[in-house]
Amino acid sequence: MLPVFPLGPELFLRSFWLSFRVVTLWQLSRLLFNVYLSQGPIVKGRTVSSKSAEPNGSLITGLQVSQKELTQLMAFEELLYIANHDETRRASIFKEVHRSSSSSAWKQISEECLKVTSQIMDNLRTLGIIKPPQSSNIQPQQTMHISSLGSPILVKSENIFVTGAQPRRTLDKLKSTNQGPSSPTSPLAKIQLPPAQELTQKAQAAASDWMTGFYASWIGWPFRETLQFKSQMIIPKMALQVAAISALSKFIVRSIKEDDMGLVQHDIPRILESLLVTETALKRFVKRPPVHPTDIESLTSPKPIILEEISSVLKAIDFAFSDVVETFGVHLSNLKLAPEVIERCQEIMDSSM
């Protein structure tokens, strides 16, 4: 029942009580949802895809549905769980050679993992942080040989049809009379105006000071283009990409004992090279970040800015290289690795000694 008067203590108390109940229910829903997600891909002691008639096919389908981010994230978390804890599922993935379209289950899984990690490089190119690879099909420029011209033709400004002395125009007479050293000069001509370049620089400096103060205030905070914002644009799906990198490295480590057909060993050079390219680009970004003029915090802070997304991905790549080097060791020389990958592995070996 509504109160008699529109405003009063009873109305405020009812509004406060209803708002409190709505906020409490919302926070409780968030808490329960986080608890449900924290359990990972295990439901009643089994993975989600294991309930399917074709577990590996269901898992790969989940890895491919990029439109449904939650489903894809759960699939990659399940893949990471299998790589760490489920030996039976790993064996089935290694042995399922002809799953569909003459492609093995491991091949499709590794392709989906690399597709997720390659999005980082695509985002770096889209933002203009790194240049896209130039095409090698460049047509040679055709040069045109122009024959040298003859001597220039002299053009006379006088009237060639008039003979004798030509009459001088009135304007020419005025010019000749004012060119003498004693000719009077207008007082306005003696005033030295500041150059246009100096005025432009002063205007730009004043505008820059005003914009700096605006971005430093709380009103200009939403308009700042910070490094944290760029980091989130480069790595918008941090949990997904970290899970993909970790799952790849764990499968490679387990394959040394469980992959009897050698499918994983064939793809190790390609995987490590892709991870190294991503790591190099991210380290270059962290070393020399493109700070925008509106990023007041990065320009004025004496301490380096922590970029959570990039740091997490770099740690995952570093752990992946460390696990592979520690597991394979002396066998790395037989994998036909690229020179850059060999150098990176050697750095890890030297640091572990």
**pLDDT tens per residue across span 207-235:** 666 666 666 666 766 677 788 888 889 99
What's the pLDDT score for residue 221?
64
Q: Note whether residue 45 is domain-resident.
A: no
Across residues 246-252, what is the average pLDDT? 95
Residue 48 domain-assigned? no
Average pLDDT of the residues in 57-84 = 91
- Whether residue 182 has pLDDT greater than 60: no
CA angle 149, 150, 151 (to 5 degrees): 125
Q: Which of 169-173, 204-208, 330-334: highest mean pLDDT?
A: 330-334
Query: Which of 101-115, 140-154, 185-199, 213-227 is least confident?
Result: 140-154
The yes-or-no verdict on residue 283 having pLDDT over 80 is yes
Residue 187 is predicted with a pLDDT of 54
Flag whether 337 is in a domain: yes
Please say if the pLDDT value at position 120 is more than 50.
Answer: yes
The count of domains in the chain is 1
Average pLDDT, integer, range 99-103 = 64
User: Which one has a higher pLDDT value, 291 or 218?
Assistant: 291
- Asked if residue 269 is part of any domain, the answer here is yes
- pLDDT, greater one: 290 or 302: 290
- Quote the pLDDT of residue 48: 85
Query: Domain for residue 283, yes or no?
Result: yes
Evaluate if pTM is beyond 0.75. Answer: no
Domain span at residue 337 reads 104-130+224-352
Mean of the pLDDT values across residues 175-192?
51
pLDDT tens-digit profile of 125-154? 988 887 776 654 444 444 444 344 444 444
Least confident of 20-24, 92-96, 233-237, 328-332: 328-332
**Residue 52: inside a domain, yes or no?**
no
Domain presence at residue 301: yes
Residue 112 in any domain: the answer is yes
